[in-house]
Structure 1
Amino acid sequence: MILVGLTGGIATGKSTVARMFKQCGAVVIDADQLAHDVVKPDKPAWREILKTFGKAVLNPDRTLNRQALGAIVFGNRTRLRRLERIIHPRVAREQARLTRQAARKNPKAVVVYDVPLLFEAGVDTRVDKIVVVTADRETQIARLKKRNGLSRAAALRRINSQMPLAEKIARADFVIKGPLTPTARRQQVRSILLALRSPD
Structure 2
Amino acid sequence: MSRHVLMLFIVFLQIGLFSIGGGYAIIPLIQEQVVSAYNWLTIQEYTDIITISQMTPGPLVVNTASFVGMRLAGVPGAIAATMGSILSGTFFSIALYKFFKKYKNIDSVANVLKGLRASSVGLIASAASTIILIVVVGASSLDVRNFTLNIGAVILFSVSLFLLRKYKLNPILVMVLTGIAGLFMY
| Greater strand share, structure number | 1
User: TM-score, with normalisation over the residues of structure 2?
Assistant: 0.28
User: TM-score, with normalisation over the residues of structure 1?
Assistant: 0.26
Identify which of structures 1 and 2 has the higher relative contact order when contacts are C-alpha pairs closer than 8 Å and 6+ apart: 1
| Greater helix share, structure number | 2
Larger Cα-atom Rg: 2
